[in-house]
Amino acid sequence: MRTAVWIAPSVLGLAVLVLPAACREDGPTCYAGDFAGCTCSGGALGYQACIASEERYGPCVCDGTTPGLDGSFEAAAPAEAGPSAKLPFMSECTTDGECESGNCHTFSQQGTFCTKSCKDTTDCPAPSSGCNNRGICKAP
């Protein structure tokens, strides 16, 4: 009988500890080049482009274009991004001046990406896998 009194609180305590960890999502919300469907006012369908530097999707684009099908990738850029906008973290680049961080680095296996200085892995947001031995965030 005494054992039954302790089983219920033990199971409840275990559930409180395990359920939040089981429901947690690891990793970023989205990656550069990702799109998600959304509903525009009036019920029409649109899409949202990933703003990789903020690890979130941007506003719903409701202009009738479909990314990848009608050549409208440019329409996916956030409204504040104009021709003089700098490339966000881990975008492909050719010069330092193109990057928000001012650091366009060639990674021997992956290519050339905008990166930033770091001291440890926590300084490097996704999709980077951490800080390398040169003090810059690794390419994915």
Residue 118: the pLDDT is 92
Predicted pLDDT of residue 128 = 86
Nearest alpha-carbon partner for 87 in 53, 124, 43, 131: 53
In the chain, which stretches have pLDDT less than 70?
A: 1-28, 66-84
Confidence at residue 140, expressed as pLDDT on a 0 to 100 scale: 79
Instruction: Delimit the domains of the chain by residue range.
Output: 35-76, 86-140
Q: Are 93 and 113 in contact (CB under 8 A)?
A: yes
* Tens digits of residue pLDDT in 40-68: 877 888 888 888 787 787 788 887 776 65
Place of tokens 């680049």: 93
Whether the CA torsion 84, 88, 91, 96 is positive or negative: it is positive
Give the count of alpha carbons within 13 A of 53, CB side only.
Answer: 15
Residue 137, pLDDT score = 92
**pLDDT for the residue numbered 9:** 64
Using alpha carbons, select from 38, 42, 39, 40 the residue that is nearest to residue 50.
38
Q: What is the pLDDT of residue 61?
A: 80
How confident is the model at residue 74, as a pLDDT?
Answer: 47
How far is residue 98's CA from residue 91's CA, in Å, rounded to a whole number? 10
- pLDDT value, residue 16: 60
Run of H or E including 23: helix 2-23
| The pLDDT value given to residue 91 | 87
